[in-house]
Amino acid sequence: MTTSIAFLSRLERFPSVPSTNDIVRAWLTEGTPEVCLAVADEQTAGRGRSGRSWVAPGGAALLLSLGFEPTYLEPDRLWRLGAIVALAMADAAEEAAGLPAGVLKLKWPNDIVAESVGAGDSVADGVLKVAGVLGESEGVGTAGARAVVGIGVNVDWPRDRFPAELAGVMTSLREVARGRPIDSNALLDEFLLRLEPRYLALRDGHFDVAGWHARQVTTGRAVQVELPDGSIELARAVGVDGASGALLVEDEYGAEREILVGEITHVRLASTAGAGGRKAASGAGAKARAGRGGPSPARAGADRGGGRGVTP
């Protein structure tokens, strides 16, 4: 069924690979045109953001990577590839799991999360990760631009099989759907149906800024963000910037600025007030919004940090 998706140049399924991102990167290097797709039942060396590994038991997750040749995107809009993948997957996951629209959220930049009612402060403040996106790019800004966007979705993974060290921060579609079994193949089909129009729109210069805004779990909430230099920023998230891809935050004095690269490590669901914390982000990846003078160059290479480059 998925092979009939017209925008795909190549689709292959693998029982087990080290990383689907590596498969697709190799395809692009050898000349496979966009959009190529590798799907695996299992990865033996799956990568996450910030140099972390990405682990999922065979058959319990949807693990895939898409290869793009994004010469149609300005370097500072490359982050939108990761965003369309996350948005299409959130829509698809709600359909495949029988969830009401909007139940799944995005945690900037591109994690798909669900709020765990009643989890309280002890369990990641109730924001549990369902899926993560990893973007890697090469030759950005040249005629040979290549980008790989990988996404790993915890699909049919029962809670009693979560690794102990992740049980407080992750969940699966099956758990969000209160134990209903979820078919990864159906999810893949739903995803591709939704990705195609978003991809074609992006090629035409259009991005669903409103939909991206609406999915954000952090808007109006106190957040803790780890910046690339390791410093911790406490602030109130006030939104996201549909042009730069940045997380917009406000400090305790009401000054707004954007964080271009970082990792939200904590979201306070109960309160929207008084982020407190440091006065201003001085670390890499943050800048005063008032001082923004135009698009910043996107990073080439592996996206290890945040909302720039391809993804997360």
Q: Is residue 307 involved in binding ligand BTN (CB under 6 A)?
A: no
* Least distance CB 310 / ligand BTN (angstroms): 11
Question: Residue 301 CB: number of other CB atoms within 10 A?
Answer: 10
Kindly tell me which residue out of 152, 239, 277, 309 binds ligand BTN, with binding defined by CB under 6 A. 152
**For residues 233-272, which are near ligand BTN according to CB under 6 A?**
none
Q: Which of 171, 187, 61, 46 is nearest to 112 (CA)?
A: 171
- Six token digits for residue 177: 């759907």
* Least distance CB 106 / ligand BTN (angstroms): 12
Q: Find the part of the chain contacting ligand BTN (CB under 6 A) among 44-52, 66-74, 86-94, 157-165.
A: 44-52
Q: Is residue 151 involved in binding ligand BTN (CB under 6 A)?
A: yes
Q: Is residue 172 involved in binding ligand BTN (CB under 6 A)?
A: no
Kindly tell me which residue out of 8, 21, 99, 128 binds ligand BTN, with binding defined by CB under 6 A. 21
Q: Is residue 228 involved in binding ligand BTN (CB under 6 A)?
A: no
Q: Find the part of the chain contacting ligand BTN (CB under 6 A) among 128-136, 192-200, 216-224, 242-250.
A: 128-136
Binding mask 86-115 for ligand BTN (x = CB under 6 A): -------------------------x----
Q: Is residue 132 involved in binding ligand BTN (CB under 6 A)?
A: yes
Q: Is residue 20 involved in binding ligand BTN (CB under 6 A)?
A: yes
Beta carbon nearer to ligand BTN, 43 or 244 = 43
**Contact positions vs ligand BTN (CB under 6 A):** 19-21, 43, 46-49, 52, 54, 63-65, 111, 132-134, 150-152, 312
